[in-house]
A and B are shown apart, each in its own frame.
Chain A
Amino acid sequence: MIDSLILFARKLLVKLVAVFAAFIPGIAFAIQPYNLPVGVTETSKEIFDLHMFGFWISFAIGVFVFAIMLWSIIFHRKSVRPTPAKFSHSLKLEILWTVVPIIILVALMIPATQVLTRTHDSSNAEIDIKITGYQWRWHYEYLDERVKFFSNINTPEEQISNQEEKTAEYLLEVDKEIVIPVNTKVRFLLTSADVLHAWWVPDLGVKKDAIPGFINEMWTIVDEEGVYRGQCAELCGTRHAFMPIVVRAVSRPEYDDWLAERQQGAEEEAALAQKADWTPEELLERGKQVYSINCIACHQTSGKGLPPAFPALIGSSVVLGPKAAQIDILLNGRSGTTMQAFGALLSDSDIAAVITHTRNSWGNSGQDQTVFPQDVAAQRSK
């Protein structure tokens, strides 16, 4: 305990020294972890420069104000200066400290407007990716490429609840990354399926709200290959902290390979959705995959959920009861709760598979142990 405290204190001291050193010109730019990232796009670099410009101006004004205050505090205290001066106004000074700030603000305003204008121009993008915020994961759709997928947080619940040691990418890791090519203008079209979210990747210098019913645009051209991490930046409910973003920027050929692989995967998925003769074993296996992509954020791998917001599936009356009720919830969602409608997102076979999975896992054993795609199709057509 004492040792860890000492270690903490030492680490802290080093960091503090680093931060104070950051205020000294020259060393400032060597200390990255506690400043805005310079990033890997022209936009992020321009933002960084503007940020430092604004910072140094603020710093100078601060030094000026504090110096005068300190001077007065030290030399104009009663013990040093028993008789105060009598002056109480000066038009010259008032004009001076109105005009000088205006000039400084104009100096900030001009470059800020230039960068803003450039970041607003999302025309001539080569790749369009539609990003949809869901409670609490992101959905990516490569328009015209037949590639779309959900991206879920991948950090085990055991790490979050402190039962396991946290790994380096704690809370910043996902099951499927969004992949984009470098040196290519990529346009993001943002919207949401439920509440507001915001897509923020600091290294790319992009952040924008995902708003249900509206489409927002932004764009990026990444200069360097690498993995860039971000998070949802707009409070979106219970698990707002747990919907990270991971962008992998790769070379163009690598991107094309990845896309082809994804497209092939999509075709297989489509074929699977068409498949009519499922055995219970196949459904179970498929259901486990579907569950891990779509359900674990709320209902958890353990099926215990996170009550009261997210009910347990173990021993749930819906899961143990007749299949029709569960199919209905999967297809249409449950109003007044965060259980969304999956009817438009999942195929009949996936819905059947995931229901079958819940009815046979964690010791669950009730009515209608196996649900077939035909059951879902029948209910969907009602």
Chain B
Amino acid sequence: MNEATIDIKTNEMAHDDHHGPAKGITRWLYTTNHKDIGTLYLLFSLLMLFVGGAMALVIRTELFAPGMQITTPEFYNQMVSMHGLVMIFLVIMPTFIGLANWMIPLMIGAPDMALPRLNNWSFWVLVIASIVLMSTFFVEGGAPSGGWTFYAPLSTEYAKPSITFMILSIHLLGMSSIMGALNIISTIFNLRAPGMGYMKMPLFVWTWLITAFLLLAVMPVLAGLVTMMLTDIHFGTSFFNAAGGGDPVMFQHLFWFFGHPEVYIMILPAFGIVSMILPTFSRKPLFGYDSMVYATASIAILSMIVWAHHMFTAGMPLAGEIFFMATTMIIAVPTGVKVFNWIATMFQGSITFETPMLFAIAFVALFTIGGLSGVMMAMASVDIQYHDSYFIVAHFHYVLVPGALFAIYAGVYYWLPKWTGKMYNETLGQIHFWLSFVSVNLTFFPMHFVGLAGMPRRIPDYSLQFSDFNALATIGAFAFGISQLIFAYIVIRAMFAGKPATQEVWDNPEGLEWTIPSPAPYHTFETPPEVK
């Protein structure tokens, strides 16, 4: 990509000091500063990572051995459902929005997000939504237990009271996401520094621009869907009730019309992060920038016509199944292009292995495993056996944990010195990586085997032949969970102590964010930089 230069005048720096952050709690409540809001998003999702992770450990403890151990089947179902909802809506998505808040203005040379007040509101709405979602544990009958997919009729006609609160929470989460997406789109469209053409934008900006459009396209569908649930539950409609002329399968179509693009919403920004990090530590430009942009756009468009591959056992007509099998397979092509471009970026580079690079490399490798099992699942006739088994659980955890989450870790380690002005502890970072890398595979790889051997997902108890690998997965899960405490320690410590970071932090990295001091001043790019 192009060389970027910037000219910061010293008198402007002095000017900044007069407009520093407000003091006390109001700084955070009323803030319209993209860096503050980014920090809020990131800290909030870090907290939620441990909440969702604790639920995962309850699940794995129950599954350590056959027989019921520590939960009841009902509570287990609540854990499974809430673990999914928390990790998707309160961890992965907010983290990406937090990273977008911090980095997009710095990457395109904008002074802030285009709609700062909306930005503040979208964060605090998220907090309210999460409180509503968590409150369901205290509603009579407990939290939602119909899975994160809350299929009809289990979560409509047979809904317990907490489903209504979940619907409210999803509405709020949807509002928050839509506001976040609008903000990102208007920022990228309007606030790019002079000379920053679209095909000069860093890939993280590109992937987020495309993700934001996906969010705008599908979050309203989810909102419509949960509203239909609400009227089915409370106002006597029969959208999903066959006895009233409705259709439970329509629920699945609507859900996955949202749900499949949603999985790309959770992975496209990760693609962007990795595309930033691999070139820096390979000391070589990103291979195939243009085709990376086109591949991302193709994935996004295709992601909206593959949804029914989640429903190969729902009883679709043959023609429908063939169509969705074909589109699903096609989506592997642009995804493959991305993987090949990444390895071509590393090839013949001059690679060093700092923590961000380790996580980025692990992302490419392990995401590939998740992608390949995805191709196997695309074969509709074979998916008959895979569907709703632990093979699926293994697949989507491979793309979301060593996929999305590892990319997030890579990004956090990469930009943390820019945020705090202090280097994190590299030794601890390496320890965090290796523990996570080993334990994440120990947790999720055995799930492939029990799934193929016939273990259904979402069960609190299983027959004896699945015992050994489940025990292994539980050991892995605890090792993984404990390793993440190291991450929390590293991040929090780097806020307050550590070696001062230089302006460039890394060895000659590319991008406008490295042309400003570390830590990034409260206000940056009040005068747009010149991009040549």
Most buried by B among A55, A57, A195: A195
Q: Which chain B residues (446-500) contact chain A, with CB distance < 8 Å?
A: 449-450, 452-454, 456-465, 468-469, 471-472
What is the 8 Å Cβ interface bit string for chain A, positions 202-244, against chain B (1 contact, 0 not)?
A: 1001111101111011000000000000111111111111100
Tell me the smallest distance from the CB of A17 to a CB of chain B, in Å.
Answer: 12
Structural contact, B291 and A37, CB atoms closer than 8 A: no
In contact, A116 and B325 (Cβ under 8 angstroms): yes
Interfacial chain A residues near B349, Cβ < 8 Å: 72, 76, 81, 84-85
A64 nearest CB across to chain B (Å): 9
Asked whether any CB of chain B lies closer than 8 Å to the CB of A33, the reply is: yes
Q: Is the CB of A195 within 8 A of B375?
A: no
Query: A202, B454: Cβ atoms under 8 Å?
Result: yes
- Tell me whether B350 and A51 are in contact (CB under 8 A): no
Interface-facing stretch out of A123-131, A159-167, A272-280, A349-357: A159-167
Q: Is B273 an interface residue (CB 8 A)?
A: no
Residue of chain B at shortest CB distance from A105 = B329
Contact in complex: A65, B313 (CB < 8 Å):
no
Residue of B nearest to A62 (CB): B372
A218–B211 CA distance with the chains assembled, in angstroms: 39
Contacts of B290 in A (CB 8 A): 89
- Residues in A with CB closer than 8 Å to B13 are none
Measured between beta carbons, the chain B residues less than 8 angstroms from A102 are: 333
Expressed in whole angstroms, the Cα–Cα distance for A72 and B344 within the complex equals: 9
Contact of A116 among B66, B364, B380, B449 (CB under 8 A): B380
- List of A residues within 8 angstroms of B145 by Cβ: 237-238
- Whether B365 lies near A69 (C-beta < 8 A) is yes
A65 to chain B: which residues have CB within 8 Å? 339-340, 343, 365, 368
The reply to whether B369 and A235 form a contact with Cβ atoms under 8 Å apart is: no
Tell me the A101-135 residues at the B interface (CB within 8 Å): 101-102, 105, 108-109, 112-113, 115-117, 119-120
Contacts of A196 in B (CB 8 A): 151, 153-154, 248
Report B-chain residues with C-beta under 8 Å of the C-beta of A206: 384
Give the docked Cα–Cα distance between A198 and B528 (Å): 59
User: Does B191 count as interface, using CB distance less than 8 angstroms?
Assistant: no
- Is A73 in contact with B351, judged by CB distance below 8 angstroms? yes
Query: Are A50 and B379 within 8 A (Cβ)?
Result: yes
Residues in A neighbouring B146, C-beta threshold 8 A: 235, 237
Q: Fill in one digit per residue for A76-99: 1 if any B CB lies within 8 Å of its CB, else 0.
A: 111001111111111001100110
- A-chain residues with CB within 8 Å of residue B369 when the two chains form the complex: 62
- Report the Cα distance A96→B281, complex, angstroms: 26
CB of B194 within 8 A of chain A? Answer: no
B43 close to chain A: CB less than 8 A:
no
CA–CA, A65 to B339, complex, Å?
8
**What's the least CB distance linking B275 to chain A, in Å?**
12
Q: Which of B299-307, B315-323, B417-425 contacts A (4 or more CB under 8 A)?
A: B315-323
Contact partner of B325 (CB less than 8 A), chosen from A83, A113, A172, A306, is A113
Q: Which of B157, B241, B388 contacts A198 (CB 8 A)?
A: B388
Q: Are A85 and B379 in contact (CB under 8 A)?
A: no
Q: Does B441 sit at the interface, judged by CB under 8 A?
A: no
Min CB–CB distance A61 → chain B (angstroms): 6
Residues 9 to 42 of chain A near chain B (Cβ within 8 Å) = 11-12, 15, 19, 33-37
Cα distance A206–B453 in the bound complex, in angstroms: 14
Residue of B at shortest CB range from A163?
Answer: B67
Residues of A near B66 (CB, < 8 A) are: 166, 170-171
Q: How far is the CA of A88 from the CA of B510 in the complex (A)?
A: 14
Asked whether, in the complex, the Cβ of B347 is within 8 Å of the Cβ of A309, the reply is no
Establish whether residues A97 and B337, one from each chain, have CB atoms under 8 Å apart when the complex forms: yes
Bound form: Cα–Cα A51–B453 in Å = 13
The yes or no answer to B385 lying at the interface (CB within 8 A) is yes
Which chain B residues border A50 with CB–CB below 8 Å?
379, 381-382
Which bracket fits the contact residues of B? Answer: 35 or more
Contact: A69 with B376, CB < 8 Å?
no
Q: In whole angstroms, what is the CA distance A278 to B284 when docked?
A: 90
**Taking A89-B288, A209-B315 as contacts, is the C-beta distance between A78 and B389 under 8 angstroms?**
no
Give the docked Cα–Cα distance between A76 and B283 (Å).
Answer: 11
B-side contacts of A76, CB under 8 Å: 282, 346-351
Query: Which listed residue, A11, A55, A168, touches B464 by the CB 8 Å rule?
Result: A168
Neighbouring A residues of B322 by C-beta, 8 Å:
113, 116
Are B462 and A19 closer than 8 Å at their CB atoms? Answer: no
Q: How far is the CA of A195 from the CA of B150 in the complex (A)?
A: 12
CA distance A226 to B283 in the complex (A): 62
Q: Is B282 touching A84 in the complex (CB atoms < 8 A)?
A: yes
Known: A47-B385, A69-B364, A77-B351. A58 touches B375 (CB 8 A): yes
User: How many whole Å from B252's CB to the nearest CB in chain A?
Assistant: 9
Give 1 or 0 for each of B343-383: 1 = CB within 8 Å of chain A CB.
Answer: 11011111111000000010011001100110110111110
Interface string of A182-201 (1 = CB under 8 A from B): 00000000100011101010
Is residue B285 contacting chain A, with contact meaning CB distance below 8 A?
yes
Within the complex, what minimum Cβ distance (angstroms) separates B322 from chain A? 6
- Report if B14 contacts A (CB, 8 A): no
Question: Contact at A55–B73, with CB atoms within 8 Å?
Answer: no
Of all chain A residues, the one with the shortest Cβ separation from B69 is: A162
Given the interface pairs A65-B368, A171-B461, the reply to whether A166 lies near B67 with Cβ below 8 Å is yes
Q: Are B313's CB and A209's CB within 8 A?
A: yes
- What B residues does A237 contact at CB under 8 A? 77, 145-146, 154, 158
A36 proximity list for chain B (CB < 8 A): 385, 452-453
- A81, A89, A160, A190, most chain B CB atoms within 10 A: A89
Q: Are B347 and A68 in contact (CB under 8 A)?
A: yes
A233-B248 in contact given A65-B339, A73-B351 (Cβ < 8 Å): no
Residues of A contacting B462 with CB < 8 Å?
171, 241
Would A84 and B283 count as touching, CB distance under 8 A?
yes
Q: Are A213 and B243 in contact (CB under 8 A)?
A: yes
Chain A minimum-CB-distance residue to B251 = A196
Interface residues in chain B, defined as those with a beta carbon under 8 Å from any beta carbon in chain A: 66-69, 72-74, 77, 141, 145-147, 151, 153-154, 157-158, 241-243, 247-249, 282-291, 313-315, 318, 321-322, 325-326, 329-330, 332-333, 336-337, 339-340, 343-344, 346-353, 361, 364-365, 368-369, 372-373, 375-376, 378-382, 384-385, 387-389, 449-450, 452-454, 456-465, 468-469, 471-472
Query: Which 3 pairs show the lowest CB-CB distances between chains A and B?
Result: A213-B242, A241-B459, A58-B372
- 5 A-B residue pairs with Cβ-Cβ distance under 8 Å, sorted by A, are A72-B348, A113-B325, A170-B463, A202-B385, A202-B454
User: A12-B471, A105-B332, A212-B243 are known contacts; what are 9 more A-B pairs with Cβ within 8 Å?
Assistant: A34-B469, A50-B379, A72-B351, A84-B349, A116-B318, A160-B67, A202-B454, A208-B315, A233-B456
